[in-house]
Structure 1
Amino acid sequence: MKNILTEIVAHKHVEVAARKQQRPVAELEHSSAFKREPLSLSTFLLNPEKTGIIAEFKRKSPSKGLINGTATVQDVTMAYTRYGASGLSVLTDEQFFGGSSDDLVQARAVNNIPVLRKDFVIDEYQILEAKAIGADVILLIAECLTKEEVARLAAFAHNLGLEVLLEVHSGDQLDKVTDHIQNVGVNNRDLTTFKVDFNRSCELAPQIPAGKCKVAESGISNTDNIVTLKKAGFNGFLIGEHFMKTENPARAFENFVTELSGKLKG
């Protein structure tokens, strides 16, 4: 089986090199969004009045192909915010996920909750881009970065005022967590095969360093999953495909939150 993550990262190196030529760093630093004060995802995740859900806007994926080709980023993300999302995740990878930087710009323009730039970050330039398009948080994937690269990129993001979500898939990757990382996500999807094992989050939860927001990612398809993950100590729940694969992601999210609220009160 081909390693999808390796393929994505190889393409990302070429893509980033091209974008550096198209839009110099100085231009990024002069964008209006570069001057705004970023919001704290960890603060929003710990807010008891929110759901803890990081709701994602995603058009397609390498494993599923087209997920939703009709939903608009502004309509969907505004509904996510309206019904209690703690944060938004917006795919900006075009080649493999059908996203764009413009999707994040549009989400930022109409929402006042933290926005995660969901992409495959391998270079400081992408962190400057994230700041310039209005992101509050960047994703670092432990699977495709060395310990030294994670430390360097996390420190760079911190100096720009951005938070970091470090995504891990196994216990040995937790040694890449640094002081500049506020949120640690456990991806239940194996990024080399894209298969999902929901139990992975619960197994790794006790090993996540104290003081970090614990985020479960992928494979969360019903409210019982969140009840279980909350008991395991998770503060955040990144959900994308479950809502986006429906005809009306906004209504799907509203119904999900209503059901979840009832279970948590009960």
Structure 2
Amino acid sequence: MKDILNEIIAHKRNEIAAQKNSIPYSLLERELADCHLPVYSLKDALLQSSTGIIAEFKRRSPSKGWINQHANAGNATKGYEVAGATALSVLTDSTYFGGTLADLQHAARQAKIPVIRKEFIIDEYQILQARLSGASAILLIAAALSIEETHRFIRLSKQLGLEVLLELHDEKEIEYTSLETTIIGINNRNLGTFVTDLKKSYRMVELLPRDAVWVSESGISNPETVKELRKAGYRGFLIGENFMRSANPGASLEEFIKGVLQ
């Protein structure tokens, strides 16, 4: 079976190389000196929320194809915030997910809640891009990185004022956690095959650091699932496709939150 994650990472390396040729790393560093965009704590937002919904803006996926091809990032994410999202997640990969850095910028420019850059981050360059685009946090995928790279990227993120959502996929990746890791996501979707298994979040409970904030990602389409996962110890729930298939993602989220609070 084709390993989609490896394919994406290989493509991402070429993509970043081209971006660096166009806009050098040194230029991003100079721009950061004048960057005063606000950041909002993802960890605090999740701990203080009664729902913990991280509403995601995603136009397409490798497994499902186009979900909402012509969706406007600014409109959709504003609708999410008005509906009561705890935080926002914005896909910025173009080739496989139909997203752009401009989507992140549109969302972050108007949001008063944390915005996560969801991307296949394999280079410091992308972390600088995230900060300059207004993100408050980034996603790091353990399966795409070595332990040394993960810790190095976490340290750089902290220097820039960004929080990190560290994404794990199975028990073998628990070694990626450290005292630096305060927000840990469990992706219920296998990024090699894109098969989803919600039981993965429950299986990982006994292995996760108790002082970290836990986020369950992918495959959540029912408010009752959120209630059960909260009982298991999760405080964040990253949901995108369930809302993005609607003509009005914000209204879809609003109804979902009502179900969680009932």
TM-score class, shorter-chain normalisation, is over 0.9
Output the CA distance in 2 between the equivalents of 1:175 and 1:189. Answer: 20
Deviations 1:147-186 (CA, angstroms, capped at 9, x unpaired): 1111111111111111001100111201111233221000
AA in 2 matched with 1:159: Q
Asked if 1:109 is matched to 2:109, the reply is yes
Is the 2:82–2:250 Cα contact (8 Å) retained in structure 1?
no
Q: Could you tell me which residue of structure 2 aligns to residue 38 of structure 1?
A: 39
Instruction: Tell me which amino acid in the other structure corresponds to 2:233.
Output: G
CA–CA distance in structure 2, aligned partners of residues 58 and 162 of structure 1: 22
1:125 equivalenced with 2:125 (yes/no):
yes
| AA at the equivalent of 1:38 | V
Q: After superposition, what is the alpha-carbon deviation per residue over 1:8-58, rounded to whole angstroms, capped at 9, x for unaligned?
A: 00011111111111112343242698322421100000113x520100000
Q: 1:159 to 1:31 in 2, by over 3 A?
A: closer
> Which amino acid counterpart does residue 140 of structure 2 have in structure 1?
L
1:9-88 maps to which residues of 2 (within 5 A)? 9-29=9-29, 30=31, 34-48=35-49, 50-88=50-88
> Aligned partners of 1:33, 1:11: CA distance in 2, in Å?
31
Give, in whole Å, the separation in 1 of the partners of 2:35 and 2:27.
10
Instruction: Summarize deviations over 1:78-116 as a string: whole Å, max 9, x none.
Output: 121112211100000001100000000000111110000
Which residue is equivalent to 1:242?
Answer: 242
Q: Does the aligned pair in 2 maintain the 1:62–1:97 contact within 8 Å? A: yes
TM-score by length of 2: 0.96
Contact 1:38 1:136 in 2 (8 A): yes
Whole-Å separation in 2 of the counterparts to 1:32 and 1:65: 39
* Aligned residues of 1:33 and 1:131 also touching (Cα < 8 A): no
- Structure 2 counterpart of 1:252: 252
Asked whether the equivalents of residues 92 and 100 of structure 1 are also in contact (C-alpha less than 8 Å), the reply is yes
Secondary structure of 1:35's match?
coil
Q: State the number of aligned residues.
A: 261
Distance 2:146 2:194 in 1: 21
**Is the CA contact (8 Å cut-off) linking 1:213 and 1:234 kept in structure 2?**
yes
Aligned-partner Cα distance in 2 for 1:103–1:36: 16
Q: Secondary structure at the match of 2:48?
A: coil
**Aligned partners of 1:45 and 1:52 also within 8 Å:** yes
Spell out the pairing of 1:168-247 with structure 2 (5 A cutoff): 168-247=168-247
Q: Please give the alpha-carbon distance, in whole angstroms, between the structure 1 residues aligned to 2:220 and 2:153.
A: 28
- Would the alpha carbon gap of residues 147 and 90 (structure 1) be closer, same or farther in structure 2, given more than 3 Å must change? same
* Secondary structure of 2:214 counterpart: strand
TM-score, with length taken from structure 1: 0.94
* Distance in 2 separating the partners of 1:167 and 1:198: 15
Aligned partners of 1:90 and 1:118 also within 8 Å? yes
For the Cα contact (< 8 Å) 1:34–1:134, is it kept in 2?
A: no
Q: What 5-or-longer segments of structure 1 have no aligned partner?
A: none
Question: For the Cα contact (< 8 Å) 1:158–1:180, is it kept in 2?
Answer: no
